[in-house]
Structure 1
Amino acid sequence: MSSINFSSVSVRVAIDGSDAPKTLLRDVSLELSERRIGVIGANGSGKSTLLRLLNGLVEPSEGTVVVHGDSTTAAVRRVRANVGFVFTDPLSQLVMPTGREDVELSLRRSVRNSKERACRAESVLERFGLLRLADQSIYELSGGERQLLALAAVLAVDPKVLVLDEPSTLLDLRNRELLRRTIAGLDQQVVMSTHDLDLAMDMDRVLVVEAGRIVFDGSPAEGVSFYRALCAATLDAPSLGQAPQ
């Protein structure tokens, strides 16, 4: 399997009213070749920034990101054709009235013939068990059904890499398990951020992000254990402004 490479990547953004930029990621160097990669960490740690670098939604302030041979800045269109991105809230990417129309929209660039496109969309929806929901308004669907439709729309174009940003946040137990099984059966390389530590345990490799840095990189069991200890240490630390005893 080809790899994803981060080389000395930092990301900084300007802050209104401040002369100094805010650093979201600092000096990240990684080679990601495993089939399933989990990213865990607290809110605001830099997880989403790390993921958004993978398809050019965020550009490095320093360093380079190369996905399966393509630079995310020099070859951004090719990268986006090869990297599918599923957001936390599916309503942020389901733009058509129904799931069928959304899947067909995803296929519009790669499948020019409308009849072939409709046939392909139906096949994708059937593959994910969504055909019965295909013509319902997306606003009538549950959060889990919307998330699975968003996933189907992204996978319809057969990307090489699938990036999932907190995909289980809005899911009930049944749909979470369905998502888990779906991810396990995919051919694509998957990079997923999650607060669900059971999902993280399904991965081949886990990264822990803290304050814009990769503070752990290794096996899922060790990564989850490290993250639990990190959270416990944070809880045990004196509150800001509290005088030491």
Structure 2
Amino acid sequence: MIEIEDIVFRRDGAAVFDGLRLRLDAPRVAIVGRNGSGKSTLLRLIAGLAEPQAGQVRVGGVKVAKDRAGALATVGILFQNPDHQIIFPTVIEEIAFGLEQQGHPRDEARRLAVAALARAGHPDWAERLCHTLSQGQRQMVCLTAILAMEPRWILFDEPFNSLDIPSILRTEARIAALSQKVVTVTHDPARVRDYDRVIWLEQGAVAADGAPGEVLPAYVAAMERLAREAPC
């Protein structure tokens, strides 16, 4: 379970969250909301990449901001832009890095990375240069690196952005096939209509929380109303 307990998080003196409390345990959870509502920040807090000024976040009982080794074994995050995640020149180095951070010796990490690429259906990518891959392929490298570490939860930050329709459909299928529990942030309600739970964030607070059939129509109606009211 992901436990978000009364967190307070401020950036540049402004409150992003002020007492947010959530429990997430459904297999597929979506988070929707306008830009600036706190969606990506919430994922970073869940992954332990940011620490709240008050309150705490636990994933599977692990205090992710305090226990980095425990966090790496429990939760993985796929950033919106794979270029913000990839740090090594070659695919094999990128995938092996997380395994080394988990304590695997370099040779074993490389062997496990090769096996992860084989499971992903891309054994020939090992020595490819990451910058020569397409956006969708680089995203697949990041996901393979996460899966190699075998976390219990995977967080996706706008995984459908900048992808063409075939890549979107492939990404949807990959997420649907995962055995891990998933939290997905997206602006596209159609991509998460089959999820178990949808949380609508508005200015750092929960505007609605429930089944997709209840939350998404209300969210879309509110966004359409804002579009009509906004000056051209």
| Cα distance in 1, alignment partners of residues 208 and 18 from structure 2 | 14
Shift of 1:52: 0.9
- Aligned partners of 2:28 and 2:196 also within 8 Å: yes
Q: Are the structure 2 counterparts of residues 95 and 88 from structure 1 closer, same or farther at C-alpha, using a change threshold of 3 Å?
A: same
TM-score by length of 1: 0.87
Q: Are the structure 2 counterparts of residues 75 and 100 from structure 1 closer, same or farther at C-alpha, using a change threshold of 3 Å?
A: closer
| Cα distance in 2, alignment partners of residues 102 and 11 from structure 1 | 31
Q: Are the structure 2 counterparts of residues 69 and 113 from structure 1 closer, same or farther at C-alpha, using a change threshold of 3 Å?
A: closer
Equivalences for residues 75-224 of structure 1 within 5 A: 75-110=67-102, 112-224=104-216
Aligned to 1:18: none
Shift of 1:137: 1.4
Q: Are the structure 2 counterparts of residues 123 and 62 from structure 1 closer, same or farther at C-alpha, using a change threshold of 3 Å?
A: same
| Cα distance in 2, alignment partners of residues 75 and 198 from structure 1 | 36
TM-score by length of 2: 0.92
Aligned to 2:11: 13
Equivalences for residues 48-87 of structure 1 within 5 A: 48-87=40-79
Q: Which amino acid aligns with 2:5?
A: S
Gaps of 5+ in 2: none
| More displaced 10-residue stretch of structure 1: 157-166 or 133-142 | 133-142
Gaps of 5+ in 1: 15-20, 240-245
Shift of 1:179: 1.3
Q: Percent identity?
A: 33
| Cα distance in 1, alignment partners of residues 15 and 178 from structure 2 | 34
Q: Which amino acid aligns with 2:54?
A: E
| Cα distance in 2, alignment partners of residues 188 and 143 from structure 1 | 23
Give the alignment partner of residue 41 of structure 1, picking from 33, 45, 49.
Answer: 33
Q: Which amino acid aligns with 2:51?
A: E
Cα RMSD of the aligned pairs, angstroms, is 1.9
- Aligned partners of 2:39 and 2:185 also within 8 Å: yes
| Cα distance in 1, alignment partners of residues 210 and 185 from structure 2 | 15
Q: Which amino acid aligns with 1:84?
A: G
| Cα distance in 2, alignment partners of residues 154 and 62 from structure 1 | 28
Shift of 1:23: 1.2
Q: Which amino acid aligns with 1:116?
A: E
Shift of 1:138: 1.2
Shift of 1:231: 0.5
Q: After the TM superposition, which parts of structure 1 deviate over 4 Å for at least 4 consecutive aligned residues? A: none
Q: Which amino acid aligns with 1:98?
A: T
* CA distances 1:82-118 after superposition (whole Å, capped 9, x unpaired): 1111101111111111212211222224463444333
| More displaced 10-residue stretch of structure 1: 4-13 or 145-154 | 4-13
Q: Which amino acid aligns with 2:27?
A: R
Shift of 1:150: 0.6
